[in-house]
Structure 1
Amino acid sequence: MSDLPPLTTETVQGIVDERLDDDTVHRLVWHYLGYRFDETTQAWNNDLVEPVWQEKYPEPPLFIESRPATVQLTRSIPKPNKQLLKEKLGFQGYTIDQLVPRLTRRATMAGWLLSYMAQNNLLDV
Structure 2
Amino acid sequence: MPELPPLTNATLWAILHDELDDSTVNQLVWQALGYCYDETCHQWGHAAVPQDWGSAYPEPPDFIASRPATVKLTRSIPSENKQLLKEELGFPGYQVNELVPRKTRRATIVNWLLSYRRQRASSAHF
TM-score by length of 1: 0.92
1:32-47 maps to which residues of 2 (within 5 A)? 32-47=32-47
Q: The residue matched to 1:121 in structure 2 has which SS?
A: helix
Q: The residue matched to 2:44 in structure 1 has which SS?
A: strand
Segments of 5+ residues of structure 1 without an aligned counterpart are: none
Q: What's 1:7 paired with?
A: 7
User: Which one is further off, 107-116 or 36-45?
Assistant: 36-45
**TM-superposed deviation, 1:41:** 2.0
Count residues with an aligned counterpart. 122
**TM-superposed deviation, 1:42:** 2.5
User: Which one is further off, 84-93 or 7-16?
Assistant: 7-16
Alignment RMSD (CA, Å):
1.2
TM-score by length of 2: 0.92
Cα distance in 2, alignment partners of residues 2 and 57 from structure 1: 23
Cα distance in 2, alignment partners of residues 120 and 38 from structure 1: 24
Q: The residue matched to 1:12 in structure 2 has which SS?
A: helix
Cα distance in 1, alignment partners of residues 10 and 29 from structure 2: 15
Segments of 5+ residues of structure 2 without an aligned counterpart are: none
Give the letter aligned to residue 69 of structure 2: A
Q: Give 4+ residue runs of structure 1 displaced > 3 Å after superposition.
A: none
Cα distance in 1, alignment partners of residues 98 and 109 from structure 2: 17
Q: What's 1:65 paired with?
A: 65
Cα distance in 1, alignment partners of residues 39 and 3 from structure 2: 14
Cα distance in 1, alignment partners of residues 104 and 18 from structure 2: 12
